[in-house]
Structure 1
Amino acid sequence: MQHSEVIHNSTLKNVIDSIGNTPLIELNRVFTASNFKVYGKMEAANPSGSLKDRTSVNILKEALLLGYIKSGDTIIESSSGNMALGLAQACLYFKLKLIVVVDPKINSHTKKLLNAYGAKIEYVTKPDPEKGFLGARLQRVHELLENIPNSFWTNQYGNKKNPEAHLVTMKEMFGALEDPLDYLFVTVSTCGTLMGCADYISQNGLKTKLIAVDALGSILFGDEKSNRLIPGHGSSVKSNFLDKNFVHDAVKVSDLECVKGCWSLLKNEGILAGGSTGGAISAINKYADSIPKGSSCGMIICDRGERYLDTIYSSDWILDNFNSKDNNLSFLNNE
């Protein structure tokens, strides 16, 4: 009788230890017309489904270590989705309560996940006249902090542990490659990820050119504020982290370009990812003429696409929001 081979895999002590060490995937089908390579860091493989798992745990671990919080305390954060889910998972593990302040752009799948994790959802329904929904969410955070004893704001918008978390993300990405990347495309919102990448590049003396991917209607790289449909990237308020001296260039992408990028990644690579990832795909295509032949590029696959099934991956939603003679929606055809 032939015995099957037994494979011994290492075990982890808890779900928190499973965060990070995500795969790096060569995206060799979605950019076939280009003369350069693109690698995607699969942050969607983190246990709650996004890059924000790293940020959430990095902030909470320090707060626990320094005694800012203890078991039973209440964590409060403003989030459009991914940070909320990363915190929801981590708070359950660390025995912390969680209140997430959201606005109408949060999608139904994320709300269902937050309810499953036991997080309390606090809604703001009207944008701040100057600072939009983000400004209104932050104002509500401060009101809650004043009224809830033993509460703590993780403050993804200003806590230095946000960018610091992504020194590890970059160490993993660059460690998996024989040579440093020539270009790194990073979508921006709080700019924590962007500046964590910038810090790694600077600290290691790399020549990697950092390209920010921002949303049309976001003020981070020069636009006037306007309404946006795709959550998770862009911002209506200035970043506390952003230092443009470390950014080689910026590319603006529209909501529809985010959608098209998502569908292209799905159809060509079989990867179901979120809106900001689609933005990065489109940004690389828009920037392709500026990338020398033979270059290597990196991007981050920030989150899973399941939470966007009712929007980005819904033909009805796309037709409702983008069906005009000026928009080419041929990607909706089953080819």
Structure 2
Amino acid sequence: MTATAVRPAAHPELFTLLGRTPVVRVTAGLPRPHPGFWAKLEGLAAGGMKARAAVSMLRGARERGELRPGAPVVESTSGTLGIGLAFAGQALGHPVVLVGDSELEPSMRQLLRAHGVRLEIVDRPAPHGGWQAARLARLRELLAVLPDGYWPDQYNNPDNTAGYASLAAELAA
């Protein structure tokens, strides 16, 4: 992921996999009586349950010129957004570098790497701010050395929540 790195191919056909996730009627007994409810199984969706948010953040950044074609995407994650960013990165042609911590489950590490992610693991919490502060410190170090690196900043990115609009529309339908 240096200036001479080969730009990954985009696979926009992956976007056809977004949406139309299964729903199931839950009628099983719970501690209190209930009439049943519908549950949308977003965990079974392509790119995981946060793929819509990840796609929204990367598309928004591209439209504003904040994310250049083929530039790396760098984010801190405990897992689920990372899977979504891996999906979005593959679809749009961006390498993805994720910063996790030693609390990240081995199975999640394997899954992220299987999706082509470069995974950076911090091994100790920061004295002030714990694991998240340690991840963000490493993220900033990576941005300093990755040309054109883009940080979606999931916690402060309005495109994150906007990504759920398609989910709301799908639920209404």
Matches of 1:26 and 1:130 in 2, distance apart? Answer: 45
Aligned to 1:111: 109
Aligned to 1:72: 70
Q: Which has the higher contact order (CA 8 A, sep 6+)?
A: 2
Identity over aligned residues, as a percent? 28
Equivalent residues of 1:53, 1:83 under 8 A apart? yes
Aligned to 2:41: 42
Equivalent residues of 1:63, 1:69 under 8 A apart? yes
- Residue identity opposite 2:140 in structure 1: H
Q: Map of 1:54-73 to 2, 5 A cutoff?
A: 54-73=52-71
Deviation string 1:96-128 (CA, Å, 9 cap, x unpaired) is 111100001111122112222221111111112
> Structure 1-normalised TM-score?
0.45
Equivalent residues of 1:70, 1:96 under 8 A apart? no
Q: Structure 2 unaligned runs (5+)?
A: 1-11
> Structure 2-normalised TM-score?
0.84
Aligned to 1:252: none
- Residue identity opposite 1:84 in structure 2: G
Query: What's the CA shift for 1:159?
Result: 0.5
- Residue identity opposite 1:28 in structure 2: T
Query: What's the CA shift for 1:33?
Result: 4.6
Structure 2 SS opposite 1:96: coil
Structure 2 SS opposite 1:149: coil
Q: Structure 1 unaligned runs (5+)?
A: 1-12, 177-335
Matches of 2:160 and 2:70 in 1, distance apart? Answer: 23
Matches of 2:29 and 2:102 in 1, distance apart? Answer: 32
Deviation string 1:266-318 (CA, Å, 9 cap, x unpaired) is xxxxxxxxxxxxxxxxxxxxxxxxxxxxxxxxxxxxxxxxxxxxxxxxxxxxx
Count of aligned pairs: 162
Aligned to 2:138: 140
Deviation string 1:197-228 (CA, Å, 9 cap, x unpaired) is xxxxxxxxxxxxxxxxxxxxxxxxxxxxxxxx
Matches of 2:167 and 2:140 in 1, distance apart? Answer: 31
